[in-house]
Amino acid sequence: MMIETGGSGRLWLLSGPGSSYALHLTERDELLHLHWGRRIALRDAEALAADPLPAERPFESVLDGHEEYPVEGGPRFVRPALSVRSRQVRGTEWCFEEYETAADPAAGHELRLHFHDSLHHLDLTLHYRMRPGCDVVERWTTATHVPNGHRDPLELLRADAATWTLPHRDGWRMSQLHGRWGAESRLVHGPLTPGERLIGSRRGHTGHQHLPWFALDAGDAGEEHGEVWTGALAWSGSWRIAVAALPDGRVQATGGAGHDDAGLVRLDPGDSYTSPVFAALWTGGGFGAASRAWHAYQLAHVVPGGQRLRPVLYNSREATGFDVGERQQRELARRAAAMGVELFVVDDGWFGDRAGERSGLGDWTPNQDRFPGGLKPLADEVHALGMQFGIWVEPEMVNPDSDLYRAHPDWVQHHPGRRSTEYRHQLVLNLARTDVREHLAERLDALLHSAPVDYLKWDFNRCFTDPGWPGERYPERLWTAHVEGLYELIDRLRAAHPGVAVESCSGGGGRVDLGILARTDQVWTSDNTDPLDRLRIQHGFSQLHPARVMAAWVTDSPSPMLNHRRSSLRFRFVSAMAGVLGIGVDLLDWSAEERAEAASWVALYKTVRPVVQHGDLYRLRPPGEGGDLSAVQYVLGADTVVLAWLPAQAFGAPVPPLRLRGLDRDASYRDVTTGVVQRGAVLAERGLRTTLAGDLDAAVFHLRRL
């Protein structure tokens, strides 16, 4: 990992273990992209910089597809990453001022390129950073309105984090993660045809419909071979990524916060705006290598305490609904502890006048009828049983039927003179307001001091529909300021209560991104806990995010909320063991035999948990629409864990062996359960025989290198 400077101080080469990223500045202060791909030397980058731009053609710009960060204005026709408007003029014309490099053993190497627009009095800094030991390039921008004896504001309509430029290839294929509530993270591939493909969210949060991630290849990459370029935006609000196949065959991907017609921020003289990080990487090892690189990067540099194991949790939601009370929670806790659960979570219904979805949301004090002594007596008993204690909260929302709303109706997002839209009988608090954040910080801090709480399940159950801010000079900034307020609130609580873990939830996987993961310990993957549906959801999720952050529950069968499919406890557990194992069943209704079987699965998970949560992931066979075998493999040191699922077996159709990856071919491996020893080369070539058969069968294999 290093940054080299060449070309008389106007060329920069960033290199990681296996890749390089190069750019240079022309004598006309045009910042051009040179290379992003396999690692090259500085002299190679200088040779690329010596190539002239293509000759001018009618109705085309020689800069399009070559500029590192295209702005609005001048001889450009591609989508601009930066769009600025003032009273006098719109657009940008910059001059290069200087560059800086900085090195930090923990944070990595950073390059900063400083530009200035003298008409707008706007400073623009482009940031580039590579973290130790990985090929991820982090990019972001800072825009500052420089005081110059005037008071006119600037409006940033767009200030994207980065534009990524890809090399020429014969044809491009784009992969993305799409879906909806209950069917998140569905992986889809398709040819990138001429023009633009837009993905994003206009909802105020990341959204169930698209994850802020893309992958591009030349149509020939597979799971373990071929070049793949992939990027992910670290932002938890509305966002946009535009991938353009340009007329000359080049491809550029531009992305950042906000959607097209929202506006971004108003800068008075002296004000600054810093975009979220847009991270990206190249690999020559296919989609699997890309995923493993993303996972290692997040566990080392994004997720707080990413090297710590996440506990097995029990959540009481399905057992009690809103009918939450101290006595039944104590009994559930005793049964959960006997099964080996490590974290007991009380879900919705413990606070205020919360008898259902219509009331109490926003009043974060324990209901005195249900918890006469507050949460502390229950939390103390949970701790005495050897478990941590957690609670569900939804701080950004409020019911109109609540003490908070009656006292502060102006605190919600709303447009004067318009009806407010209610989803789930709730409204969205405006976290862009300082007074709202102060109230929530004080209320949550008091709650965490009143009882030994170890974990917050932080939910967000509706989209923005009325993003108004009466009295604000530039109400459009609510779209970004709410998210920045959310980050500030979580950061403040974590600093005051460093032992409290946080899970991000948004009606399932509606807020999953690198921005929220920088502040939380895990995310709720989907409200759909059907184990067969989850295989496809988890397959897509694993393209970017590691198992260490993927909450996965075993729930009652059939699932009452979705498809009513019946499945065995074995299939449910093995499906959920692919991530952070949780249990969300009605233990009061379970037999002693069911609880005993569950305890055995929990014990097995604990033995393989370090490998699953921190091992290298290999997707051996993806889940399909039909009944085909699917499997994933995790490798950590000498240990290998394989999880395999057979949804259905057709008559006469043999179940194929699983060809394992990432093994030492010259070593022998012992099955920890059976003691059977097999050679690494045999497991890689012939494969692991699973003995799965019938419908909805599943198994766990734990192998250890001798």
In the annotated binding site for substrate, the residues are 181, 347-348, 424, 457-461, 505, 527
Rounded to whole angstroms, how far apart are CA atoms 190 and 698? Answer: 31
Rounded to whole angstroms, how far apart are CA atoms 190 and 308? Answer: 37
Six-digit token string for 400: 């109109």
Q: What are phi and psi of 585, to 5 degrees?
A: -105, 170
Residues annotated within the binding site are: 181, 347-348, 424, 457-461, 505, 527
How far lies 550's CA from each of 220, 546, 584, in Å?
Answer: 29, 7, 15
**Residue (of 354, 324, 484, 513) closest to 425 by Cα position:** 354
Contact 483/237 with Cβ under 8 angstroms?
Answer: yes
Annotated catalytic residue within 527, 533, 616, 697:
527
Looking at 558-629, which runs of residues are DSSP E strands?
580-583, 616-621
**Residue (of 87, 74, 94) closest to 26 by Cα position:** 94
Contact 342/606 with Cβ under 8 angstroms?
Answer: no
Radius of gyration of the chain (CA): 26
Looking at 179-332, which runs of residues are DSSP E strands?
186-191, 195-201, 213-217, 228-233, 239-245, 251-257, 265-267, 272-274, 278-283, 313-315
Long-range contacts formed by 110-117: CB under 8 A, 24+ apart: 110/3, 111/3, 111/12, 111/14, 113/12, 113/25, 113/31, 115/29, 116/146, 117/84, 117/92, 117/93
Rounded to whole angstroms, how far apart are CA atoms 124 and 640? Answer: 48
DSSP 486-535: HHHHHHHHHHH-TT-EEEE-BTTBSS-SHHHHTT-SEEE--S---HHHHH
Q: What's the farthest any 2 CA atoms get from each other in the chain?
A: 83
Six-digit token string for 366: 């324990």
Six-digit token string for 590: 């379970």
Rounded to whole angstroms, how far apart are CA atoms 40 and 42? Answer: 7
- Residue corresponding to tokens 């051009």: 32
Annotated catalytic residue within 459, 513, 616, 639:
459
* 527 is annotated as an active-site residue: yes
Find how far residue 499's CA is from the centre of its chain: 22
Sign of CA dihedral 150, 156, 162, 168: negative
Helix (H) or strand (E) holding 469, with range, is: none
Amino acid at residue number 443: R
Rounded to whole angstroms, how far apart are CA atoms 20 and 42? Answer: 10
* 51 is annotated as an active-site residue: no
Task: Decide: helix, strand or coil at residue 607.
Answer: helix
Helix (H) or strand (E) holding 398, with range, is: strand 397-398
Six-digit token string for 337: 């502890």
Catalytic sites, residue numbers: 459, 527
